[in-house]
């Protein structure tokens, strides 16, 4: 059976003066993620060493929404994510992901190595790896494009994005009138922010990346 494995860490955590507080915040973040996505979490996100963590999820999860939720919860600290698609060869403990191993985690580690080798001048902190090299390459290009968009957002544009996440909106098409009310904005003002921020394009890159690995899964079952 194929799973999505995540390996990651808080960037430059060892240099933080308040490292202990950050670790506690990160523990709380992982608990919230485990609860929100409990239907898709196969083995709970767990701290493995200091500020490093890992988790195992169903392939049905929108993994990029999970990652964006974690990033929002941990602001202003940055997290590095390696995403691996593959099987698990060991027993799976649903309560803690430590000890599980197999191609899913091997690929996640390869994704972490990819980030270290190619982080686009420090702008990109996530990567994907599966056994399909071409699909992995295309997905990583889409992820880098999305990060380039996100890194240019100003505070007001970031507010729109975070409100969408809070409302569980992760799509190009949504009710802009309701979102405008939530943000206490005129609909035309929201439209301008959406246009200037390319938020819809950002979602397109993420959702296309998800479609690609879902396609890989479907072709693997034929």
Over residues 43-77, the pLDDT tens digits come to 999 998 878 899 999 999 999 999 999 999 999 99
Q: Which residue range(s) make up the domain with 150?
A: 2-220
- What's the full length of the chain, in residues? 222
Per-residue tokens: 66: 């999970």
Question: d(Cα 10, Cα 16) in Å, to the nearest integer?
Answer: 10
> 126 in helix, strand or coil?
strand
Q: How many domains does the chain have?
A: 1
pTM of structure: 0.94
Residue by residue, pLDDT tens for the chain (222 residues) are 999 999 999 888 777 888 888 888 999 999 999 999 999 999 999 998 878 899 999 999 999 999 999 999 999 999 999 999 999 999 999 999 888 899 999 999 999 999 988 877 677 899 999 999 999 999 999 999 999 999 999 999 999 999 999 999 999 999 999 999 999 999 999 999 999 999 999 999 999 999 999 998 888 765
Per-residue tokens: 94: 């649903």
199-220 and 187-197 helices cross at what angle (nearest 10)? 60
CATH of the domain at 20: 3.30.70.270
Q: Which residues are within 8 A (CB) of 72 and not within 5 positions of it... i.e. 6 or more apart?
A: 162, 165
What pLDDT is attached to residue 217? 86
What pLDDT is attached to residue 219? 80
């Amino acid at each position: 059976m194929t799973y999505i494995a995540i390996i990651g860490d808080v960037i430059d955590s060892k240099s933080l003066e308040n490292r202990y507080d950050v670790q506690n915040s990160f523990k709380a973040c992982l608990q919230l993620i485990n609860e929100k996505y409990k239907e898709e979490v196969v083995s709970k996100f767990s701290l493995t060493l200091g500020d490093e963590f890992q988790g195992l999820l169903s392939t049905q999860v929108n993994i990029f929404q999970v990652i964006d939720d974690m990033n929002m919860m941990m602001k202003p600290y940055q997290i590095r994510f390696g995403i691996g698609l593959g099987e698990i060869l060991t027993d799976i403990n649903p309560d803690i992901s430590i000890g599980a191993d197999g191609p899913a985690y091997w690929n996640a580690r390869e994704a972490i190595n990819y980030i270290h080798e190619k982080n686009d001048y420090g702008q990109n902190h996530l990567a994907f790896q599966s056994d399909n090299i071409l699909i992995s390459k295309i997905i990583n290009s889409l992820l880098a494009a999305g990060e380039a968009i996100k890194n240019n957002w100003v505070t007001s544009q970031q507010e729109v994005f975070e409100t969408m996440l809070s409302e569980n909106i992760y799509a190009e098409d949504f009710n802009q009138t309701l979102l405008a009310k939530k943000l206490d904005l005129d609909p035309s003002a929201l439209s301008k922010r959406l246009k200037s921020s390319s938020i819809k394009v950002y979602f397109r890159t993420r959702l296309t990346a998800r479609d690609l690995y879902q396609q890989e899964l479907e072709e693997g079952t034929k």
